Chain A
Amino acid sequence: MDFLQPVTWAEALEAKAAHPDAVPIAGGTDVMVGLNFGHLRPALLLDLTRIADLRDWQVADSAVRLGAGVSYARVISELGDRLPGLAMASRTIGSPQIRNRGTVAGNLATASPAGDAHPALLAAGAEVEVASVRGTRRIPIDDFYTGVKRNAMDGDELITAVSVVPPSGPQQYSKIGTRNAMVISVAAFGLALHPDRRAVGTGIGSAAPTPRRAPAAEEFLAGELDSSGLWESRAELPEATIARFGELVAAAAAPIDDVRGSARYRVHALSVMARRALTWAWADHRSATQEA
């Protein structure tokens, strides 16, 4: 096994082009488990932690551009106000030790359906910036997840950054696990209300082969908020609307039975999380008007 430590992004891309089967490593929270247990024996480990450019985030074109090397701990401490949904998701990840190392880009590279960042990224409508020696492209998050632990990247590509537009409305995140810390989610749900474009964003985790949105639930809720003038009036949400939203989120899932939970449990849990997330988010939306 070889171990390469490029210090510039150009060197990293050249290495990945020359060795498409090289395994990139940053926080190591997935890769090292594979190495420690002998499941992973790549010819080349490509350490990305020396590349200073990856460690920053900045605001570009009204979006936060989160470098691939920014840890969850920094998302929480530095971006809780700008990216509330992603910060909430980050707080549920692993333990402080894991959050000090793990990155959102690592979650994307692994593309596990149970990755905690995905529902928040889907709800917010993120974009993944990937690069190779051939150039850079931006992949909308909706097109990024292509199968169980598969994503839309080519063998010579690396993730440069994730761009997320700070929200115009409230965001919420909910996750079910056997305890609060250190668990792979049984099911997770992310919600974003976008009053500026009168739209709703959702993200479902651990309940389908890939993280996915619940488009019918989004359309239903946006339609209700529109037709009843609720975006402006910020009146209380009808119970029936909340319940129907929960049903439609659950209907978008396609879970399996596994050691963490049954498919039936996951569907039920999603409907509960969706109702709760909506109730919390709507309360935020209503109190925002009182402050304004």
Chain B
Amino acid sequence: MRLTCTVNGTEQHVDDVWEGESLLYVLRERMGLPGSKNACEQGECGSCTVYLDGLPVCACLVAAGQAEGRQVGTVEGLADPEALHPVQQAFLDAGAVQCGFCTPGLLVATHDLIARHGRPSDAETREALAGNLCRCTGYEKILDAVRLAADRMAEPTAGGDR
């Protein structure tokens, strides 16, 4: 079947999509967007987290056809051409990336968390990232990265007339 959806703001058409394949497969294998990772294909790890109509979801659990006409946002859409997104920069600066396999999913989940909570408490962060598994970092550096990103993103407005 043919699939048309908007990915990172650009309309994409792909042909010969098998009806039973996942949005994750379409992104990685048919659209050349391998940022979203495939680590479990069963919703357990969060490595494939993408936005679907503005909500973070596991792309491995979305049937390709369910994305028809929808807005998809992937990790590739976070940075602009000149610079990494502050969430990405914070993950680098805090040492929250080791093998990097979990990172794309964590970046999208963190991006959403900060958009909703501004400066999340550690409890909110742990809850929001509970579906993203990392086998390398032990999570402490990831929590550091979330705090760092949230602080940096809050600064321009908070620093107003100091």
B46 at the interface (CB under 8 A from A): yes
A101 at the interface (CB under 8 A from B): yes
- Residues in B whose Cβ lies below 8 Å from that of A96: 56, 109, 127-128, 130-131
The answer on a CB contact under 8 Å between B61 and A101 is yes
Q: Please, how many angstroms separate the alpha-carbon atoms of A49 and B132 in the complex? A: 25
The answer on a CB contact under 8 Å between A32 and B44 is no
A85 at the interface (CB under 8 A from B): no
B58 at the interface (CB under 8 A from A): yes
A60 at the interface (CB under 8 A from B): no
B18 at the interface (CB under 8 A from A): yes
Tell me the A41-69 residues at the B interface (CB within 8 Å). Answer: 41, 45, 47, 49
A287 at the interface (CB under 8 A from B): no
The answer on a CB contact under 8 Å between B130 and A28 is no
**Can you name the residue of chain A whose Cβ is closest to the Cβ of B21?**
A35
The answer on a CB contact under 8 Å between B19 and A97 is no
Tell me the A23-44 residues at the B interface (CB within 8 Å). Answer: 25, 27-29, 31-33, 35-37, 41
What 1/0 flags go to A114-156 for Cβ under 8 Å of B? 0000000000000000000000000000000000000000000
Q: Please, how many angstroms separate the alpha-carbon atoms of A32 and B21 in the complex? A: 8
Tell me the B97-143 residues at the A interface (CB within 8 Å). Answer: 109, 127-128, 130-133
A97-B56, A181-B130 known; A33 vs B20 contact (CB < 8 Å): no
Q: Please, how many angstroms separate the alpha-carbon atoms of A164 and B128 in the complex? A: 28
Tell me the B44-89 residues at the A interface (CB within 8 Å). Answer: 44, 46, 49, 55-58, 60-63, 65-66, 68
A29-B43, A32-B63 known; A1 vs B131 contact (CB < 8 Å): no
**Can you name the residue of chain B whose Cβ is closest to the Cβ of A38?**
B20
Number of inter-chain CB pairs below 8 Å: 90
A2 at the interface (CB under 8 A from B): yes
The answer on a CB contact under 8 Å between A182 and B130 is yes
A279 at the interface (CB under 8 A from B): no
What 1/0 flags go to A153-167 for Cβ under 8 Å of B? 000000000000000
A95-B131, A100-B56, A181-B130 known; A45 vs B65 contact (CB < 8 Å): yes
Most A CB atoms within 10 A — which of B22, B42, B61, B62? Answer: B61
- Residues in B whose Cβ lies below 8 Å from that of A8: none
The answer on a CB contact under 8 Å between A47 and B61 is no
A261 at the interface (CB under 8 A from B): no
**Can you name the residue of chain B whose Cβ is closest to the Cβ of A44?**
B19
- Residues in B whose Cβ lies below 8 Å from that of A195: none
Q: Please, how many angstroms separate the alpha-carbon atoms of A94 and B58 in the complex? A: 11
The answer on a CB contact under 8 Å between A1 and B20 is yes
Q: How far is the CB of A98 from chain B (nearest CB, A)?
A: 6
**Cβ-neighbour of B42 out of A1, A25, A36, A49 (below 8 A):** A36
**Cβ-neighbour of B49 out of A28, A97, A181 (below 8 A):** A97
Q: Please, how many angstroms separate the alpha-carbon atoms of A1 and B65 in the complex? A: 12
The answer on a CB contact under 8 Å between A28 and B131 is no
A180 at the interface (CB under 8 A from B): yes
A241 at the interface (CB under 8 A from B): no
The answer on a CB contact under 8 Å between A98 and B131 is yes
The answer on a CB contact under 8 Å between A1 and B68 is no
Q: Please, how many angstroms separate the alpha-carbon atoms of A100 and B44 in the complex? A: 14
A37-B41, A94-B131, A181-B131 known; A25 vs B63 contact (CB < 8 Å): yes
A107 at the interface (CB under 8 A from B): no
**Can you name the residue of chain A whose Cβ is closest to the Cβ of B68?**
A5
Q: How far is the CB of B44 from chain A (nearest CB, A)?
A: 6
A3 at the interface (CB under 8 A from B): yes
B158 at the interface (CB under 8 A from A): no
What 1/0 flags go to A163-198 for Cβ under 8 Å of B? 000000000000000001110000000000000000
- Residues in B whose Cβ lies below 8 Å from that of A94: 43, 131
The answer on a CB contact under 8 Å between A36 and B41 is yes
10 tightest A-B CB contacts, nearest first: A95-B131, A181-B130, A3-B19, A36-B41, A1-B19, A32-B61, A28-B61, A100-B55, A3-B65, A33-B42
Besides A36-B60, A182-B133, 16 new A-B residue pairs in contact (Cβ under 8 A), listed by A number = A3-B1, A3-B19, A3-B65, A25-B66, A29-B43, A31-B63, A32-B60, A33-B43, A37-B41, A95-B131, A96-B128, A98-B58, A98-B61, A100-B57, A101-B62, A182-B130
